[in-house]
Amino acid sequence: MSADYLKGARELEKDLVAFTQAIVRIPSLSSDEGAVIRRIAEEMETLGYDEVTVDPMGNLLGRIGGGPRIIALDGHVDVVDVGDPGQWERDPYSGDVEDGILYGRGASDQKGGVASAVYA
């Protein structure tokens, strides 16, 4: 990876972490992802995506550019129910960052990946 890419990634790190925290804090059980989809669409629009659409099924499409080569990034934002909240050491939707680790439901499966794709 060139120094330019690393520099660019470092410049976006604070915004990317804040965005990931924001979407982790939105509960999004299967079939109830509308709020998190709207938040992701808002971020895409803020970042200047050329197209941001949500289809009737709730799938979000963000497009940048219009060249002949397409690179598609795919992810999901639904999470499994937290079960008994008393069994958690912290709020499962906290989005807390501690020692460089972001905690919360969906942070690694797969809201963090979706956030990274939005910023890629």
42 falls in which pLDDT band (50, 70, 90)? very high
Host domain of residue 106 = 3-119
What confidence tier does 1 reach under pLDDT thresholds 50, 70, 90? low
Return d(Cα 104, Cα 82) in angstroms, integer: 10
DSSP at 74: -
CA terminus-to-terminus distance, the chain: 14
Percent of the chain with pLDDT strictly greater than 70: 98
**Average pLDDT value for residue range 59-84:** 95
Specify the CATH number for the domain of residue 42.
Answer: 3.40.630.10
Is residue 105 pLDDT above 60, yes or no?
yes
Mean pLDDT score, 30-41 = 97
Res 97 pLDDT > 80: yes
Residue 2 has pLDDT above 90, yes or no: no
Residue 4's pLDDT band (boundaries 50, 70, 90)? confident
Dihedral in degrees, nearest 10, Cα atoms 58, 62, 66, 70: -80
At 89 the three-state DSSP class reads coil
Q: How many domains does the chain divide into? A: 1
